[in-house]
Structure formats: structure tokens, C-alpha cells
Amino acid sequence: MKTFRKSFIKIKLLGKASAKETFRKSFNKVKLLGKSPAKAQSAMEYLMTYGWAILIIAVVLGALFQLGVFNPMTFAPKAPPGSCQVFRPNGPGTTSFINLEGICSGELPQYVAQFSGSSVQSGITVTTPAQLPIGSSPRTITAWVYPYGGNPTGMQVVVDYGIANTADMMGLLIRPAINVYFWGWDDWESPLTVTNNTWNFIAVTYIGGTSVAAYSNGQYATGSISSALTTPPTNLRIGYFGGFYQGLLANVQIYNTSLSANDLQALYLEGIGGAPIDLQNLVGWYPLDGNANDYSGNGNNGVPSNVIFVSNWYSGYTPP
């Protein structure tokens, strides 16, 4: 009987303890709930204290992103100036056994050329090119351009190959935000567009007779001029003559043949650091990677005037 009483008392005590513990837990929960406004106030004070710092960090990160610091192109391998060039073992102007030498895997250039436009006349000249004159035969000019804009109705010269207002002239021109332009004895405005503030691969081709063509970012168009080119060009200007180019420029290539649509597409797909596609017919190659030298093996180096070479050029470039 005593054993039963002790067990009963023990059960009652345990029941009371459980009740007290349940009450104590409920009371503590109420107390914690009562403190939640204080915690919210502390959180607000934290945000007021450190919020400006967080905002400033966000603004700085956004600015760095806009400047291209976080652009994947920033971390891609860069080819130093002159790292890829054409080797002509028999000398300039020869085509036997020619080949590419150096880093020619299409790496991005370290630099591109920047032309200031008409405010400060800037450009590159080759006054007496030895191998460039090619008579009335077909020819092609290609380039990567990043135009800043300017007057959209005015022409901007990317490459002028010849003597102005004569029957030997051929030029690669653009009207910013409008089209690629064949400049010759008789001009032809192609239907192909060029976009401001981004990189474009463009080309013009003299096919022969009165037939011409243009290329822009994967698009190809043909046209005609009223009279054929007749005499060999004797001058080469990059970035200026008449209408001054305003923007960035890279990888100018000149051929003494008319590259086909497939050729130009292949060259475009190589990207801004692509090597020439037809060494046998290459007469001038100006990567503009830190200088105005000719890397075609023909030695027709250019002379820059008010041209600077910039390294932070990646904005607006997406590999094809």
C-alpha cells in the first residue's frame, strides 16, 4: 500500500513538474515574442548604419561591369603586337613558300587603333606602297570597325586605296548606323548596315568590270558601278581622306582578289584576331595591334598621325 502511495505521489509530482515546465516554456515564448519589435529596430539600425556602404559597393561593381572589367574578353589570352605575321622567304612581293609565323591561333589583340574623327584629323598613311598597286584586277578590303557615330549622313573613310576622284580609286567607307559604302570612281551604297558602339566586320570587293560587292556581319550583297577601275592605285590611307573615321579599328586586310561570300564568312568567323585567309593574294595586313606596321610580309608600314592604341577595347565585342 505504501509502495502504491509513493508511486502515486511521484506521478503527481511529475505531472506538476511537467505542467510547470510547459507554463515556463509558454511564458518564455511570450517574452520572446514581446522582444521582436526590439529586434526589428536593431535590424533597421544596422541597415541605416551599413546601408550606404552596401549601396556604394553595388554602384562601384556596376561601374566596373560597364567598363568591361568583368567582361570574359578581359581574361581571354591576348596576342602581343607582331605575334603573327606572313613570312615570305623569297622577299616582299613573292608568293612561293609563304606561310604564317608566330601566334596565329586567332587570339584577341592586345590593342586596337582609336581614331578621333574630324575634331582632330587622325589617320594612317602609306605613301609609296611597293606591292599594293594591282592595276584593274579584282581586290578586297576588310576591317573590324567600332564606329562612335557622328553625322549619319556623312561618309567616314575606313580605308582609301587609290587617288581620289580618279578611275583607280577604291575605298571602304561607312555611314554610321546606316550602311557600308563602296567608294570608287562611281560610288555604290550597299544595303548592308553597320551598327554604332559595337564591333562590326565589314568588307568591300571589286569583282571586276562594273561588279562590286559588300559584306557586313554575315550578310553579303552585290551591286554595280557605272565604269570599271582602270589604273593601279598608288596610295593607301587608313581612317581618313575626306571623311574622317571616328571610332576603333582593327585587323585591316587588303587582297588583290575578290574574296567570295564564303571566304568573307570564314574570315568573319575567325573573329577580330583572325589571320588572313588567302596568303597568295594578300598584299597588305594591318592588325593595328599596337602599331601601324604591315604584317603581310611586304613591308608597307604605315605612318600614324593622331592615332592612339588602346587596350581596354572589349566592350561591344562578342566572338562570332
**For every one of its 320 residues, what pLDDT tens digit does the chain have, with 9 covering 90 and above?**
444 444 434 434 444 444 444 434 444 443 444 445 566 667 666 666 766 667 777 676 666 555 555 566 666 778 899 999 999 999 998 899 999 999 898 899 999 999 987 666 788 988 767 666 566 788 899 999 999 876 655 778 888 876 555 555 677 877 766 778 676 656 788 888 899 899 999 999 989 888 999 999 999 999 998 888 776 667 788 987 667 888 999 999 999 899 999 999 999 999 999 999 999 999 999 999 999 999 999 999 999 999 999 999 988 899 99
Distance (Å) of CA 52 to CA 40, 41, 59, 60, 313: 19, 18, 10, 12, 32
pLDDT at position 241 is 65
For the chain, give every domain's residue range: 1-66, 76-310
Comparing CA positions, the residue from 296, 305, 316, 301 lying closest to residue 248 is: 316
Say which CATH topology domain 76-310 has.
Jelly Rolls (2.60.120)
d(CA 144, CA 272): 6
C-beta of residue 222 within 8 angstroms of C-beta of residue 210: no
What backbone torsions phi and psi does residue 29 show, to the nearest 5 degrees? -65, -40
Joined grid coordinates for residue 161: 586605296
- Which H helix or E strand runs over 190? none
Q: Are 305 and 121 in contact (CB under 8 A)?
A: yes
- For the chain, list the strands marked E by DSSP: 78-79, 84-87, 99-102, 108-109, 112-116, 123-126, 139-147, 156-161, 170-175, 179-184, 188-189, 200-208, 211-216, 219-224, 236-238, 246-255, 282-286, 303-305, 307-310
CA–chain centroid gap for 111, Å, is 11
Q: Rounded to an integer, what distance in angstroms lies between the CA atom of residue 309 and that of residue 122?
A: 12
Would you state the pLDDT for residue 277? Answer: 96
Grid coordinates belonging to 204: 568591300
Nearest to 304 by CA among 81, 80, 116: 116
Give the bridge partners for 181, in sequence order: 173, 189
Q: How many Cα neighbours within 13 Å face the side chain of 312?
A: 7
